[in-house]
């Protein structure tokens, strides 16, 4: 018995070190394979804004790269697995004590692994649809992530099974009912928590007994203590960075940075598109733009101004289809009303929701339905506005007046 | 040693268990209804009656689940475990009965008053002042009974479960009393003593720690009793218990401000909230580790025993939720999660997983014990386990997904710098997720119904054991600790010392955060243009609170580009100095209202409150037809103005006398404007007029006028 125990210890120890080596090797190869990717990903991530147009690195391309790269370890671990499984079967065949169950289960596993390989070869075709659209809305991203997770699972599965075939477990004499099988995770788990074997727990008993509940005096897991210390250090540095060194932006400073960046981008975009029309330069646009304006109107304006633009008796917004205008009926006045709104009268500002071009299209559409007088419209409000005749704005606003005069010229 | 014989009472644990399961079922059913309301607004039944709108139902759901389901769950465990851990019956049966019936009476009062619209407008503390007083009294009764038992014990040292019960009791008392400081205006109406930023700080100090000391620490106490009992294994580490108990209760209390990141709360307080939340991870995990490691050597049992299965998932959910929480308190994560469904998912991992499953496990273990029989069907219990787990997943996943979808949509800008989506687009996108979530909740509730059936059957097969006899020697008076005993054992045999130490430890965090926020003026820079509400606006604000608008609408614009573009200039601390209570909200099912004033015309609001879809097609908001018929309660104006002035709101002297004249003047103005401009005929004494006045006022004190021609 004693001899057996020592032998058992030796074999498990040998097995452990071997397994560890195997794991180390796989891990090393795996991470060695990954290093260029991470380096590459980092190097591309940093200068991304400066990257030449046309070469956009999005999350999907990175994921695709990973997925393809991981085929290599999947392939090799799979091969090793197949090889070791065959070896195991041959050995078992010669072994008289073998039972059919194990072999049949291995055969099933083999078939399964073949299936995996056939699937794995298909995977690279999927990412052909990659488009740089936003995360999570993109099913391709989801598919790629699932593929990578599957690949990971297979690598771990193959590696574990191979280990099992090459170094079959020595059947232990059933010592306790807590007889647990050993694997690399268990070993790692026992180590990281500094577990004492369950059989030795009597030495840890505190002697407490509360209604039959005993308490052991196991040490707190080492990683727990380390983690706690680290989190305290994190907390101290967090407060230091924000409130002593002041080296990271607080919410309102973040906001200032964000806005400055947004303004710069906006200006650049607008310059690029030439979309710089404002109330001073707006002109009546053509039929296709008016159609776009109509679409915007249907989406945003009908709640208050009615589907026809004529509002309704008791409606929130004024009738836009008659000759009466509260804030002027010229294209420029309409543009200005939409852009800045008349908040005290309930007209909201749309400049953060519509582009200048869109406002111009919308203004043109509204100008185009003036005088259409649909049935069931709201009663007139404001003064009669006639094209070319100043003063136009009944809201006693000098700047608007001057603009509408200008715009009249433009229309002519 | 002279052995003494005594009897454990099983009657109150049984009563509390029945109450727990009953209120749990009711509370969850209300949750399912509320979840369906968000997808199908017709279920608000607001055309017929005002009592079941989401704004009133959701507080009933949260209060029922927290205080009725979990509350009775705590008491079940306490009344069962404490006598056995201390080898003595509960101290006083009358106090026990008062505690039981008093608590159930509070629950009924709470449900009725919340549905009737009596609310303080502070989340999880919505109950009005008479009920608050009742809660305090019953809590004291509970405390007396618990300490009476502890002081007459036959076990010298207190077990870790009891440390948690003591700390929970004293902290909940402190939180409830401080946060419920309110100025009564009338029977069932009061104003929070604190205003604006300070009110927010106190409220989330309370809100966060209600989660900590009502949903977490007492349940850790239950876990420390029922888990080792059910697994028949010794607790893994006594040392770990000591470390995580003290660090947990000390650190937890500081973390409240992480509910207010990016708000008008002073930056230093926000950072303190984040820093302490991160430090909380491992103390919280201490409980999980001690629970899971206690099962070492019993995992073969876990595979078969439904009780242990429930415990394992409960403890795992606890671990996940307490890791997620600190992550959510990081600024950049909070920017996404705050106001979104992420928070909802997070709390339900805790509530359904941790509290729910621990309660179920406890019931499956306890009820057979109380009836001296075996569980009617282990198979059914296992089915419940799988159904429940599936329910949690189906609840949580859609909520996480919806949170990310909304974030990406909310923060999307076109290259020209315009917001890409309107708020209503986001609402329409997340409705399918709301439906999925409601289905997940329904599945979870189905599991609970299975449990009810199983437990009733169990009770019927057995016979109730009203009392259990036990013997133990009395404590010797002249106890001398052995020389090698550790320092902590001293605290374990001095319950009053433990109580006081706990109070000191939990008191520090709150004091350090609150005193400067209340006393240092720089923390809330005053703004000269911010004026008190007019009487009509004040009445309107009370309607806003009454209808629970804060359940879906925030009044706090954070300094982000996409929020400022969508809602207007970000909110400043000085804007809220007259807000008793604050109404910043915690979830945006509807848009933020901090700058709603002047955004739309009066007639827009008039039409919108009567039929939200008329002004905002696709809206899921309930309608409020009752406001067009009920009249403003002018009789209350006097005492409302008076209460506000008592709390420091600078109304002129004797303004009460003329307040109603001002109210009528403003109301007539609004009514006549509606008539002239929009041909809307409405009598100026209707509630809707007051609400419009309030809505048009919000955020206008410092509103920047965008029109350059001004």
pLDDT digits (tens, 9 = 90+) for B180-192: 999 999 999 999 9
Render A6-38 in DSSP notation, one character per residue: HHHHHHHHHHHHHHHHHHHHHHHHHHHHHHHHH
Is A299 part of any domain?
yes
Residues of chain B with CATH 1.20.210.10: 3-473+501-513
Sign of the alpha-carbon dihedral angle for B626, B627, B632, B636: positive
Is A6 part of any domain?
yes
User: Which of A193, A222, A252 finishes a domain?
Assistant: A193
Residues of chain B with CATH 1.10.760.10: 535-697
Same domain (yes/no): A144, A291: no
| pLDDT of A111 | 54
- CB < 8 Å to A277, chain B: none
Q: Between A126 and B618, whose confidence is greater?
A: B618
Which of B310, B425, B430, B440 shows the shortest CA–CA distance to B363? B310
- Contact between chains at B296 and A215 (C-beta distance less than 8 A): no
- Contact between chains at A269 and B84 (C-beta distance less than 8 A): no
- Please report the residues numbered 36 through 95 in chain B whose beta carbons come closer than 8 angstroms to any beta carbon of chain A: 81, 84-85, 87
Q: Which two tokens stand for residue B255?
A: 């973390």
Using the Cβ of B297 and the Cβ atoms of chain A, whether some distance falls under 8 Å is answered with yes
| pLDDT of A351 | 81
- Contact between chains at B408 and A134 (C-beta distance less than 8 A): yes
| pLDDT of B168 | 97
The separation between the first and the last C-alpha atoms of chain A, rounded to the nearest angstrom, is 111
Using the Cβ of B284 and the Cβ atoms of chain A, whether some distance falls under 8 Å is answered with no
CB B30 within 8 A of CB B64: yes
Q: How far is B418 from chain A (nearest CA, A)?
A: 5
Q: Which two tokens stand for residue B200?
A: 């927010």
Determine the average pLDDT of the residues in B210-227.
96
The number of folded domains in chain A is 2
Query: What class has domain B3-473+501-513?
Result: mainly alpha
| pLDDT of A95 | 61
- CB < 8 Å to A251, chain B: 261-262, 267, 270, 331, 558-559
Determine the residue of chain B that is closest to A262 in CA distance.
B417
* pLDDT tens column, B314-341: 999 999 999 999 999 999 999 999 999 9
Check pLDDT > 80 for residue B705: no
| pLDDT of B589 | 96
- CB < 8 Å to B85, chain A: 210-211
CB B636 within 8 A of CB B642: no
Backbone angles phi, psi at B313, to 5 degrees: -65, -40
- Please report the residues numbered 259 through 278 in chain A whose beta carbons come closer than 8 angstroms to any beta carbon of chain B: 259, 262-263, 265-266, 269-270, 273, 275
CB B381 within 8 A of CB B304: no
* pLDDT tens column, A246-304: 888 999 999 999 999 998 988 888 777 765 788 888 888 888 889 889 989 988 888 88
CB B363 within 8 A of CB B455: yes
- Please report the residues numbered 179 through 218 in chain A whose beta carbons come closer than 8 angstroms to any beta carbon of chain B: 193, 195, 198, 201, 205-206, 208, 210-218
| pLDDT of A394 | 45
Determine the average pLDDT of the residues in A153-169.
78
- Contact between chains at B416 and A266 (C-beta distance less than 8 A): yes
Render B163-231 in DSSP notation, one character per residue: HHHHHHHHHHHHHHHHHT-EEEEETTEEEESS-HHHHHHHHHHHHHHHIIIIIIHHHHHHHHHHHHHHH
Same domain (yes/no): A188, A325: no
| pLDDT of A121 | 41
Task: Select from B274, B331, B679 the Cβ nearest to the Cβ of A313.
Answer: B679
Q: How far is B289 from chain A (nearest CA, A)?
A: 9
Q: CB-side exposure of B454: number of CA atoms within 13 Å?
A: 28
Q: Which two tokens stand for residue B531?
A: 């004026």
Is A218 part of any domain?
no
Tell me, what DSSP letter sits at residue B467?
E
- Please report the residues numbered 48 through 107 in chain A whose beta carbons come closer than 8 angstroms to any beta carbon of chain B: none
Which of B138, B154, B159, B143 shows the shortest CA–CA distance to B89? B154
Same domain (yes/no): A187, A331: no
Determine the average pLDDT of the residues in B3-27.
97
- CB < 8 Å to A313, chain B: 679
- Contact between chains at B558 and A218 (C-beta distance less than 8 A): no
- Contact between chains at A304 and B615 (C-beta distance less than 8 A): yes
Q: Which two tokens stand for residue B477?
A: 């008076």
d(CA A186, CA A190): 6
Determine the residue of chain B that is closest to A251 in CA distance.
B262
Q: Between A347 and B233, whose confidence is greater?
A: B233
- CB < 8 Å to A210, chain B: 85, 155, 159
- For the whole model, what pTM was predicted? 0.79
- Contact between chains at A210 and B238 (C-beta distance less than 8 A): no
Same domain (yes/no): A12, A151: yes
Same domain (yes/no): A186, A306: no
Task: Select from A205, A303, A357 the Cβ nearest to the Cβ of B616.
Answer: A303
DSSP bridge pairs for A307: none
- CB < 8 Å to B6, chain A: none
| pLDDT of A275 | 59
The mean predicted confidence, pLDDT, of chain B is 94
Q: Does domain B535-697 have CATH number 1.10.760.10?
A: yes
| pLDDT of A170 | 57
Full domain range(s) for residue A135 = 2-44+56-172+182-193
* pLDDT tens column, A131-154: 334 444 466 777 788 888 888 888
Determine the average pLDDT of the residues in A104-126.
48
Query: pLDDT-based confidence at A102, cuts 50/70/90?
Result: low
- Contact between chains at A340 and B268 (C-beta distance less than 8 A): no
Tell me, what DSSP letter sits at residue A264?
H
* pLDDT tens column, B361-399: 999 999 999 999 999 999 999 999 999 999 999 999 999
- Contact between chains at A213 and B229 (C-beta distance less than 8 A): yes
Cα angle value A145/A150/A151 (rounded, 5°): 100
């Amino acid at each position: 018995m004693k001899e057996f125990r020592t032998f058992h210890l030796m074999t498990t120890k040998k097995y452990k070190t071997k397994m560890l080596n195997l794991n180390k090797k796989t891990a090393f190869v795996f991470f060695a394979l990954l290093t260029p990717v991470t380096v590459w990903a980092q190097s591309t991530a940093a200068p991304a804004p400066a990257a030449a147009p046309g070469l956009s690195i999005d999350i999907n391309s990175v994921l695709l790269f990973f997925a393809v790269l991981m085929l290599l370890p999947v392939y090799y671990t799979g091969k090793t697995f197949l090889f070791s499984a065959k070896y195991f079967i041959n050995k078992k065949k010669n072994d008289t004590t073998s039972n059919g169950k194990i072999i049949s289960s291995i055969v099933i596993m083999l078939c399964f692994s073949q299936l995996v390989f056939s699937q794995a070869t298909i995977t690279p075709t999927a990412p052909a649809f990659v488009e740089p659209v936003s995360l999570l809305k993109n099913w391709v991203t989801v598919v790629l992530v699932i593929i990578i997770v599957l690949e990971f699972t297979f690598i771990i599965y193959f590696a574990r099974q191979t280990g099992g075939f090459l170094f079959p477990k020595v059947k232990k004499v059933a010592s306790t009912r807590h007889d647990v099988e050993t694997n690399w995770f268990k070993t790692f788990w026992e180590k990281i928590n500094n577990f004492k074997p369950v059989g030795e727990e009597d030495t840890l008993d505190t002697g407490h007994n509360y209604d039959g509940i005993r308490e052991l005096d196991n040490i707190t897991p080492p990683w727990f203590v380390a983690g706690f210390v680290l989190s305290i250090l994190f907390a101290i540095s967090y407060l230091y960075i924000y409130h002593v060194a002041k080296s990271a932006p607080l919410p309102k400073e973040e906001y200032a940075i964000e806005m400055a960046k947004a303004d710069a981008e906006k200006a650049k975009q607008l310059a690029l598109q030439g979309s710089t029309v404002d109330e001073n330069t707006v002109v009546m646009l053509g039929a296709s733009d008016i159609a776009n304006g109509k679409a915007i109107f249907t989406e945003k304006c009908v709640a208050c101004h009615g589907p026809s633009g004529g509002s309704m008796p008791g409606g929130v917004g004024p009738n836009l289809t008659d000759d009466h205008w509260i804030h002027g009926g010229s294209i420029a006045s309409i543009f200005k009303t939409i852009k800045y709104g008349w908040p005290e009268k309930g007209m909201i500002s749309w400049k953060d929701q519509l582009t200048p071009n869109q406002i111009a299209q919308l203004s043109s559409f509204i100008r185009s339905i003036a005088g259409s007088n649909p049935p069931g419209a709201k009663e007139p409000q404001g003064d009669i506005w006639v094209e070319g005749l100043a003063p136009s704005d009944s809201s006693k606003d000098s700047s608007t007046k001057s603009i509408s005069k200008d715009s009249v010229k433009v229309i002519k | 040693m002279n052995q003494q014989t005594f009897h454990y009472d099983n009657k109150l644990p049984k009563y509390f268990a029945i109450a727990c399961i009953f209120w749990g079922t009711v509370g969850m059913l209300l949750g399912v209804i509320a979840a369906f309301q968000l997808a199908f607004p017709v279920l608000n039944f607001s055309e017929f009656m005002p009592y079941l709108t989401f704004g009133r139902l959701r507080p009933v759901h949260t209060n029922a689940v927290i205080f009725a389901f979990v509350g009775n769950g705590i008491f079940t465990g306490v009344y069962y475990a404490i006598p056995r851990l201390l080898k003595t019956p509960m101290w006083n049966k009358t106090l026990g009965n008062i505690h039981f019936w008093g608590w159930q009476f509070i629950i009924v009062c709470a449900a009725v008053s919340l549905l009737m619209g009596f609310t303080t407008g502070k989340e999880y503390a919505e109950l009005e002042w008479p009920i608050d007083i009742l809660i305090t009294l019953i809590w004291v009764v509970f405390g007396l009974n618990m300490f009476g038992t502890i002081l007459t014990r036959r076990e010298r040292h207190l077990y870790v479960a009891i440390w948690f019960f003591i700390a929970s009791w004293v902290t909940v008392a402190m939180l409830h009393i401080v946060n419920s400081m309110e100025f009564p205006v009338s029977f069932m109406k009061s104003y929070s003593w604190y205003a604006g930023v300070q009110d927010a700080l106190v409220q989330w100090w309370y809100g966060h720690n209600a989660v900590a000391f009502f949903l977490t620490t007492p349940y850790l106490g239950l876990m420390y009793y029922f888990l080792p009992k059910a697994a028949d294994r010794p607790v893994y580490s006594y040392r770990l218990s000591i470390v995580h108990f003290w660090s947990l209760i000390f650190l937890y209390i500081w973390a409240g401000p992480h509910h207010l990141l990016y708000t008008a709360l002073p930056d230093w307080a926000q950072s303190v909230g984040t820093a302490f939340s991160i430090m909380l991870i491992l103390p919280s995990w201490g409980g999980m580790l001690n629970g899971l490691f206690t099962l070492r050597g019993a995992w073969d049992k876990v595979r078969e025993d439904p009780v242990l299965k429930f415990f394992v998932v409960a403890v795992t959910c606890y671990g996940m939720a307490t890791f997620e929480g600190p992550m959510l308190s990081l600024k950049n994560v909070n920017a996404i999660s705050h106001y979104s469904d992420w928070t909802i998912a997070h709390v339900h991992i805790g509530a359904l997983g941790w509290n729910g499953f621990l309660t179920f496990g406890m019931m499956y273990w306890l009820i057979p014990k109380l009836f001296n029989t075996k569980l009617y069907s282990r198979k059914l219990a296992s089915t419940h386990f799988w159904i429940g787990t599936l329910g949690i997943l189906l609840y949580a996943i859609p909520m996480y997904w919806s949170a990310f979808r909304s974030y990406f949509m909310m923060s999307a800008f076109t290259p020209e710098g315009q917001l890409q989506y309107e708020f209503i687009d986001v609402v329409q996108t997340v409705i399918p997720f709301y439906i999925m979530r409601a289905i997940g909740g329904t599945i979870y509730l189905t599991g609970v119904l299975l449990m009810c059936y199983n437990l009733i059957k169990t009770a019927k097969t057995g016979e109730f054991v009203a009392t259990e006899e036990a013997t133990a020697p009395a404590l010797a008076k002249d106890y001398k600790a052995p020389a090698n005993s550790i320092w902590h054992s001293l605290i374990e045999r001095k319950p009053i010392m433990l109580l006081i130490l706990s109070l000191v430890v939990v008191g520090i965090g709150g004091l350090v955060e609150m005193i400067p926020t209340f006393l240092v003026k720089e923390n809330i820079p005053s703004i000269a243009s911010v004026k008190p509400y007019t009487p009509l606006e004040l009445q309107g604000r009370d309607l806003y609170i009454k209808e629970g608008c804060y359940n879906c609408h925030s009044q706090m614009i954070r300094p982000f580009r996409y929020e400022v573009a969508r809602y207007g200039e970000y909110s400043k601390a000085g804007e809220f100095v007259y807000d008793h209570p604050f109404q910043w909200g915690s979830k945006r099912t509807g848009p933020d209202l901090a700058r709603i004033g002047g955004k739309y015309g009066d007639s827009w609001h008039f039409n919108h409150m009567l039929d939200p879809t008329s002004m905002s097609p696709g809206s899921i908001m309930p309608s409020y037809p009752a406001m067009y018929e009920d009249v403003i309660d002018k009789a209350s104006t006097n005492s409302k103005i008076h209460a506000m002035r008592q709390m420091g709101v600078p109304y002129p002297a004797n303004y009460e006398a003329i307040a109603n004249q001002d109210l009528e003047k403003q109301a007539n103005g609004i009514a006549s404007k509606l008539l002239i401009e929009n041909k809307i005929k409405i009598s100026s004494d209707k509630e809707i007029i007051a609400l419009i006045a309030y809505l048009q006022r919000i955020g206008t004190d410092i509103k920047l006028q965008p029109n350059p021609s001004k």
